[in-house]
Amino acid sequence: MGKEEAGGYPSLIEDSGLASTPARAQVLEILANSQSPLTAREIHATLARTQAVDRTTVYRSLDVFVEAGLAERITSGDRAFRYGMGRRSLHARHPHFFCRQCGDMECLSAGAVELRMEDFVRTFAGLVERVEVRMDGICKNCLRRGGAGK
Amino acid sequence: MGKEEAGGYPSLIEDSGLASTPARAQVLEILANSQSPLTAREIHATLARTQAVDRTTVYRSLDVFVEAGLAERITSGDRAFRYGMGRRSLHARHPHFFCRQCGDMECLSAGAVELRMEDFVRTFAGLVERVEVRMDGICKNCLRRGGAGK
DNA sequence: TGACCGATGCAACCAAGTTGCATAGATTGC
DNA sequence: GCAATCTATGCAACTTGGTTGCATCGGTCA
């Protein structure tokens, strides 16, 4: 899923006007291969299994990706941002589910919720750049493991 | 708006099964009198103008309020949580707008967006406890002051 | 070849929030 | 009325997630 031929990620990065480096290509590959949005910490941990890369580099790579539209920064119910593939990369916008028990986040299908806001956007005095829809609750794994206890 | 007769906040707190203290009553009053969700820092700063209260106390008050449903914790585009009045307090759920330039958050009218998710919730294996709809962009003040520049 | 430029690493820093512990003020049992 | 208890508070230390300053390294271009 989201797998590309060798060399795919570097050119995806360059197509967005950014310099491709080994670290950046790997960060993007990790993002692209994940079913669900990841924290910078998770990305760094994955990356560190194969090569030593500083966490600052991960943060900075993610920053430029978000800036360029290659990745998307998603807020969750906890204090860490999550990152997923962005609009520039064949990715339809979709809502997310955040489990307040285990902290996992999952992507929901784009059609899971129907959101109508054209009327609002047309008359709103500010500029709306993006919309985030997030459901918080308890995921099915945690439900099975012992309920929604606080 | 949201104004109650003297003594209203203490009893609102006690009705939720919590002990009312001067600090808690004030925190709740600040929340209730605000048009838009506030950060713990803002609440503490407001509170500190009239009495010395430790920031830990503010955090802990907010925690118990959220727990009791008196207040609501809202995530924003930055790293700080915002707090507003919760369901238990005559408050209809509504979406929010976050300005990525000035960091202000505003409440939108409950009808601003139409969100249909009954079908999804019915077939989703996890438990959905709440939904957050947030629009990010540039508020009208910042637009006036110089556009949507990064 | 040499000047430049941006990506990286590293360490220090910062902001938001949490935790441990001692104290003070109220509440309960007697 | 007094001791035992409970819990809200204050304070300091700590944690987490992220950012910044600065030196260096590796290309690129003239």
Per-residue model confidence (pLDDT) at position A145? 83
CA distance B1 to chain A (A): 23
Per-residue model confidence (pLDDT) at position A150? 40
Read off the pLDDT of residues B16-45 as tens digits, 9 standing for 90 and up.
999 999 999 999 999 999 999 999 999 999
Which amino acid is located at B30 in the chain?
A: I
What letters, b where the CB count within 10 A reaches 16 and e where it falls short, cover B14-37? eebebebeebbbbbbbbbbebeeb
Per-residue model confidence (pLDDT) at position A2? 41
Q: From the CA of B92 to the C1' of D6: give the distance in Å.
A: 36
CA distance A9 to chain B (A): 26
Strands (E), chain A: 38-39, 71-74, 82-85, 96-99, 105-107, 114-116, 127-138
Per-residue model confidence (pLDDT) at position A141? 92
- Residue B114: closest C-alpha in chain A: A116
Residue A74: list chain B partners with CB under 8 A.
none
pLDDT tens, N- to C-terminus, chain A (150 residues) = 444 444 588 999 999 999 999 999 999 999 999 999 999 999 999 999 998 999 999 999 999 999 999 999 999 999 999 999 987 665 678 999 999 999 999 999 988 888 899 899 999 999 999 999 999 999 999 999 875 544
Mark yes or no for CB contact A75/B137 under 8 Å: no
Q: Per-residue pLDDT for B3 more than 80?
A: no
Domain locations along chain B: 8-144
Per-residue model confidence (pLDDT) at position A91? 64
The verdict on A79 touching B (C-beta cutoff 8 Å) is yes
Read off the pLDDT of residues B63-105 as tens digits, 9 standing for 90 and up.
999 999 999 999 999 999 999 998 766 567 899 999 999 999 9
Q: Per-residue pLDDT for B1 more than 80?
A: no
Nearest by CB: A113 against B115, B135, B143: B115
The pair phi, psi for residue A20, each rounded to 5°, is -90, 130
> CA geometry: angle at B58 spanning B68 and B13, to 5°?
35
> How confident is the prediction for chain B on average, in pLDDT?
89
Q: What is the fold of A8-144?
A: Arc Repressor Mutant, subunit A (1.10.10)
Number of A–B residue contacts, CB under 8 Å: 118
Per-residue model confidence (pLDDT) at position A21? 95
If you write DSSP's letter for every residue of B74-85 in order, what string do you get? E--SSSS-EEEE
State which residue has its Cα closest to the C1' atom of D20.
A56
CA distance B6 to chain A (A): 34
- Kindly give, in sequence order, each residue whose CB lies less than 8 Å from that of residue B90, ignoring residues fewer than 6 positions away: none
Q: From the CA of A101 to the C1' of D6: give the distance in Å.
A: 29
Task: Average the pLDDT over B144-149 and give the result.
Answer: 66
Per-residue model confidence (pLDDT) at position A87? 77
Looking at chain B, the whole-number percentage of residues with pLDDT higher than 90 is 74
Residue whose tokens read 């503490």: B44
